[in-house]
Amino acid sequence: MLLEGVNLMVVGMTTVFSFLALLVMVLEVSARIFQGGSDGEAKPASVAMTPSGASSVRGSEEIAVVLAAVEAHRRR
């Protein structure tokens, strides 16, 4: 009975290892396919054009709101 358990363990671990190795190979191949003919450098993503002042003001407002909420929670 102990040998059957060891056999089952070996078969299970081999199956999992094989599946993970296959998964890594498929991901490597798909990365090379989707990367295309580039020379390894990542291309910069396009950034939506927004006024720089508007985004910094909104970020400051969000930070102020979060800080006020934390302070109110601490005072309870």
Q: How far apart are CA 9 and CA 48, in angstroms?
A: 53
pLDDT at 41: 59
pLDDT at 48: 58
Local confidence pLDDT in tens for the 76 residues of the chain: 999 999 999 999 999 999 999 999 999 999 999 987 655 555 666 655 555 555 666 788 899 999 999 999 999 9
Q: How far apart are CA 1 and CA 9, in angstroms?
A: 13
pLDDT at 43: 60
SS3 39: coil
pLDDT at 22: 98
* Domain boundary assignment for the chain: 1-35
Say whether pTM exceeds 0.85: no
